[in-house]
Structure 1
Amino acid sequence: MGVGKKVARVAGKQAAPKVGWSFVRQALDKAIDGIGPLRSAAESATTHMVDAHGDVEQAIRTLTRTHVGLAGAQGFATNLGGIMTLAVSVPANIAGVTLLQAHLVAGIAHLRGYDLDDPRVRNAILAAMLGEDKVRELVKRKSLPSPPMALATAPSHAPELDKIIASELTGELFARTVGRRAVTLMARRIPVAGGVVAGGTDAYQTRQVGQYAAKELKDRRL
């Protein structure tokens, strides 16, 4: 069984029947600490750094490619069934892609010199997972004080942001799923096609998240 399928299986077991804002905080904790086939974000990122012979940017590129592949694999694995499996596969799919994207962004943050135990950095990781357009929108309407980089380097941690960012990310994750629902439902009439659509979408979104995180989280050691 491939790592993508293992992640899908673990995610399915972890997905709660009713997902609340605390879901993404728990996913982030698991991504940073490691769970099932996923090593800790720092350990995984360090391995890519070694393979890249100390080249941080190369390590980030390979780390992103790896997670894009894993996201596609878990999206495919959790959406292989037909329409009758929708109630089970959607929560597992959301849990799986959230875990992988958190693991990717945390790995990028580690490679760029951020302390993953810092609550400011953890909020920045979740904010980066929202994507550039969503962050810009939230900052514009003052629901978010600043983009991820500024959150990670703020003078102090603002605890009230913990729930705000997690709630926004939870809503965004479900909005992305609903956005592809019509296409996926049509594809689910042919079971394998449903997996292809979901896997491709998860891979694309994970690439976008990784690219935004790499753009936003500047190297703190420079």
Structure 2
Amino acid sequence: MASARMVGKVIARGLGPVAAAMAPQAAGGALRRVLEVAIDGVGRLPSAKQVAARQLERHEGSVESAIEAVIDAHIRLGSAQGFITNLGGLATLAVTMPANVAGVAVVQVRMVAAIAHLRGYDINDDRVRTALVMCLLGGEQIAKGISNGALPTSPMAVATAPVFDPGLDRRVAEAVVSGLMSRVGGKNIALVITRRVPILGGGIGAAMDGIATYQIGKYAKSELARRRALQP
């Protein structure tokens, strides 16, 4: 099986064009491509269903143990790709930051998709895919969005809604891209400064992406309640 560092390199190399397009105004198209890569897999990057099936087999059919293993594996992947795409110092700052946006989005979406699949959701359903992307906002931001009217409801409710809402899908994509760009781009001045030191910047990138992946994984696990038997 490919190592976390190897997968990180594949993500960093392969998603440059996607990352370059990930401005809020192009968020829908960019995240649609990220969803395709994360859920369906590409090259040596296994699909979300393959990841889920592998962990389910390793844990003898225990869905909850498989979910915990999925989260742990993607925390390592998030840290690895964060380290790789944040190395290089000042000379490569403008290039690596957009790659990191796409890389961490792929890792986190695949993790959430694998959790959703293990819980019995149809991850090919557009409603579910909107919910998967919503989970990247995290519980606190989703609660704020519901409170201030920016979001109508929770990811689980979106995943099980009667119909797909293209307008909500677009708003969610824009919010997620803006959040990723803010975090990865470093509105925090201390992060921007330290990223100009190659090794220190890589270490901070790895830590931030690993922590964010952990938080999103735990939120998705708590939010996406079991629906039914696994989809084929």
Q: How would you bin the TM-score normalised by the shorter chain?
A: over 0.9
Cα distance per residue 1:141-173 (max 9 Å; x no partner): 222111111111112222221211111111111
Counterpart code for 1:68: I
1:212 and 1:122 map into 2 onto residues whose CA distance is: 16
Deviates more, 1:175-184 or 1:141-150: 175-184
Matched, 1:16 2:20: yes
RMSD of aligned alpha carbons: 1.7
Partner of 1:95: 102
Specify the alignment match of 2:10 in structure 1: 6
1:183 counterpart = 2:175: no
User: Which residue matches 1:208?
Assistant: 215
2:207 counterpart SS class? helix
Give the match for residue 69 of structure 1: 76
The TM-score normalised by the length of structure 1 is 0.94
Q: 2:124 aligns with which of 111, 117, 121?
A: 117
SS state at 2:228 partner: coil
Shift of residue 18 of structure 1? 5.6
Aligned runs of 1:124-139 on 2, under 5 Å? 124-139=131-146
Q: Does the C-alpha gap of structure 1 residues 178 and 3 become closer, same or farther in structure 2, counting only changes over 3 Å?
A: closer
Query: In structure 2, do the counterparts of structure 1 residues 83 and 184 end up closer, same or farther at CA, with 3 Å as the change threshold?
Result: farther
Report the CA distance between 1:40 and its aligned residue.
1.1
Identity %: 42
Q: Secondary structure at the match of 2:150?
A: coil
Kindly state the Cα deviation for residue 179 of structure 1 after the two structures are TM-superposed.
Answer: 4.4
Asked whether the equivalents of residues 131 and 158 of structure 2 are also in contact (C-alpha less than 8 Å), the reply is: yes
The corresponding residue for 2:47 is 40
- Conserved 8 A contact 1:11-1:93: no
Aligned length: 222
Q: Which runs of no fewer than 5 residues in structure 1 stay unpaired? A: none
1:105-144 CA-to-partner distances (Å, cap 9, x unmatched) read 0110000000011111011101111100111111112221
One-letter amino acid matched to 1:77: I
Q: Deviations over 1:30-66 (max 9, x none)?
A: 1111123311111111111111110011101111111
CA distance in 2, matches of 1:204, 1:12: 23
4+ long deviations beyond 3 Å: 178-181
Q: How far apart are the structure 2 equivalents of 1:36 and 1:100?
A: 15
TM-score, normalised via structure 2 length = 0.90
Q: Distance in 2 between matches of 1:148 and 1:50?
A: 27
Cα distance in structure 2, aligned partners of 1:108 and 1:97: 17
